[in-house]
């Protein structure tokens, strides 16, 4: 790969490197539908929510699916969870809409993180790398172990 085409690693990729977690950096923007022929069901969105008992928490589901707030509330010990308004997202997670990622959020905050169990069944997943247009592909179990996430049925 020529020097001009090599992408500078994001902070998330640097954290994964330091932790010895194998990953592949990808330049793709799921918000704009630019997915480079990757299987859509392997690309996951990182959603920030507020629980009535826990406060902020993170739910991660495929971009092809919808998060069930009821299921997330149940597995997280809340009666109700609601999406954090987009205007409050950066203040809460440290990331703008489209750049939220479990690695960066776990480094800054100790929010509970839940990943839909389909990621475990797939074996690998693609999540944001902390910048718009950048993602990482990595082993689902390694990611969950690194960020202290639990797998659960989260989809509607």
- What residue segments make up the domains of the chain, in order of their start? 23-152
The CATH code for residues 23-152 is: 3.90.960.10
Torsion angle, alpha carbons of 70, 54, 64, 8, to 10: 180
At 3-62, the pLDDT tens digits run: 445 678 999 999 999 999 999 998 876 666 656 667 788 899 999 999 999 999 999 999
31: its two tokens? 């918000």
Q: Within a 13 Å sphere around the CA of 75, how many CA atoms are in the beta-carbon half?
A: 21
Which pTM value belongs to this model? 0.91
């Amino acid at each position: 790969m020529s020097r001009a085409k090599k992408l500078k690693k994001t902070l998330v990729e640097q954290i994964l490197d330091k932790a010895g977690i194998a990953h592949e950096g990808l330049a793709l923007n799921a918000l704009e539908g630019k997915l480079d022929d990757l299987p859509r069901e392997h690309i996951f969105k990182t959603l920030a929510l507020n629980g009535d008992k826990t406060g902020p928490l993170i739910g991660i589901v495929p971009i092809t699916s919808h998060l069930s707030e009821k299921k997330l509330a149940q597995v997280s010990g809340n009666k109700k969870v609601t999406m954090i308004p987009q205007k409050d997202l950066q203040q809460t997670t440290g990331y703008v809409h489209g750049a939220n990622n479990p690695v960066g959020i776990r480094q800054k905050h100790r929010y509970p993180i839940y990943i839909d169990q389909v990621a475990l069944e797939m074996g690998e997943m693609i999540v944001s790398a902390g910048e718009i247009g950048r993602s990482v592909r990595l082993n689902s179990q390694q990611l969950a172990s690194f960020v202290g996430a639990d797998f659960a049925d989260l989809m509607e």
